[in-house]
Structure 1
C-alpha cells in the first residue's frame, strides 16, 4: 500500500511561525528545497504538510538538513522535515532521522557498495554513499548516509574478516557519527534529551534574571 500510494519517500514538513497557503507551498517547496524530481504536496493538519517525493535522492536531501526556510514576500518560514510512517502522530515527532556515518581505516577492498551497505546496516538502513567513497578517491575512510533510530543504542565499532590463504585475519573498524539530533522521550520531539528538558527540569528554563545576566555579560565584553 505504501508503494501503491507513492508514500515510499514521503516526508513530513513541519512549518513554524505561520505559513503560506497550501497552494503557494505546492509551488515554493519543490523550488526552494531544490528537489530534482516530481512531488505531491498536501496539507496534512495544522502546520504539517505531506511531501510525497518520487526520487530517493530528494527523500534523502529533504531529511538531511536541520531545517529549510520557505520564503515568500520577504517573509521566511522555517520548515523542519521528518520521516513519515504509517503510524505518524501529529502530536509526536518521529525518532527516525538520517545521519552520516563513516568507517575510518577501512581497507580499500571493502569500498564496494554492497560491502559498505552491509557494514552500515548494523547502524540502520543504508541509503547513500558519498561521492568520494563511490569513486574511491578517499581511501582513508568510507562514508555513508544511514536512516537511524534515535532511541536505539549506536554501535561504536564492527569486526571485519579478511582471508589470507587458510587463515582469517580479523580487524575492528571504528564507526564515527556526524551530527545526530537528540530526542526527548518526554516531549516526543527532536532537538534535546531528557537531561536538557524544561519539562523534566524546570530549573533549567531561562528566567528573565538569567537572560539579563547573559545580555549584560555580552554587552560588557563588547
Structure 2
C-alpha cells in the first residue's frame, strides 16, 4: 500500500484499520543499544536487530557515521500494546550475547480503553469501586473527619485540643498567603 503522508520531520504512516474509538498501538520509538560493538553499527546488522522489535524507521546520524561508538540509536515502529523485551539475544559467527534495550519516551498504552497516553491503572474510563462516605476524608480538616474520630479521646487532653483546633489550623495554613490581607481587613 502507498504511504498516506509524511509531515515535515515526521515518520511515514501506512493506512491501517482506523477507528475513532481506539488508537493505533503502533508508535515510533527511539531505542538505544548501549555498548553495542562498533562492528554491529552496520545498517544490515542494525536492521536485523530491529526486526526482532518492529519495523525500522530511521537510524540517527551519529550511529550511521560512527561518531558515537558507545551507543546505537534507532527509531522503530513498535506495538506498544505488547510487552516489550528488555534485552535481545544477538548472535554473530560462533558467539552470541544479550543486548540491553533502552526505550526512549515509550508512550503508555491503555488495554482498558485502547488509547495511547495513559495506562490501565490511570484510565479515566475504568470503573472504580465506590468508597463509602465513612472512609472519605474531609478536604478541609484532613483525616480528622467525624468518621475517623476515635471514641477513646478524653476531653482536656492534648489530642482533644488538637482535634478541636485542627480545622482552624488547616484553614490558616491554606490561607497563609492571604493572611496579611485578612489581618489588615480585621484591624481596620
Residue in 1 aligned with 2:159? Answer: none
Q: Which stretches in structure 1 are left out of the alignment for 5+ residues?
A: 11-51, 64-82, 204-208
Deviations along 1:173-210, one digit per CA (max 9) or x if unpaired, are 1111101111112222111111111322547xxxxx87
Give 3-state SS (helix, strand or coil) of 1:138's partner.
coil
Aligned structure 1 segments of 4 or more residues deviating by more than 6 angstroms: 216-221
Residue in 2 aligned with 1:158? Answer: 88
Residue in 2 aligned with 1:172? Answer: 98
Q: Structure 1 CA distance, aligned partners of 2:174 and 2:78?
A: 38
Equivalent residues of 1:195, 1:201 under 8 A apart: no
Change (3 A) 1:130 1:94: same
Q: Structure 1 CA distance, aligned partners of 2:96 and 2:28?
A: 30
Residue in 2 aligned with 1:102? Answer: 32
- For the pair shown, the structure with the greater C-alpha radius of gyration is 2
Residue in 2 aligned with 1:123? Answer: 53
Q: 1:190 aligns with which of 116, 135, 138?
A: 116
Residue in 2 aligned with 1:199? Answer: 125
Alpha-carbon RMSD across the aligned residues, in angstroms, is 3.1
Q: Structure 1 CA distance, aligned partners of 2:63 and 2:106?
A: 21
Deviation at 1:110, TM superposition (A): 0.5
Deviation at 1:162, TM superposition (A): 4.0
Equivalent residues of 1:184, 1:194 under 8 A apart: yes
Structure 2 residue 71 is matched with structure 1 residue 141? yes
Residue in 1 aligned with 2:167? Answer: none
Residue correspondence of structure 1 range 15-94 to structure 2 within 5 A: 52-53=5-6, 58-60=9-11, 85-94=15-24
Q: Structure 1 CA distance, aligned partners of 2:64 and 2:91?
A: 22
Structure with the higher fraction of residues in strand conformation: 1
Equivalent residues of 1:186, 1:200 under 8 A apart: yes
Q: Which stretches in structure 2 are left out of the alignment for 5+ residues?
A: 130-137, 143-170, 178-188
TM-score (structure 2 length as normaliser):
0.63
Deviation at 1:154, TM superposition (A): 0.8
TM-score (structure 1 length as normaliser):
0.54
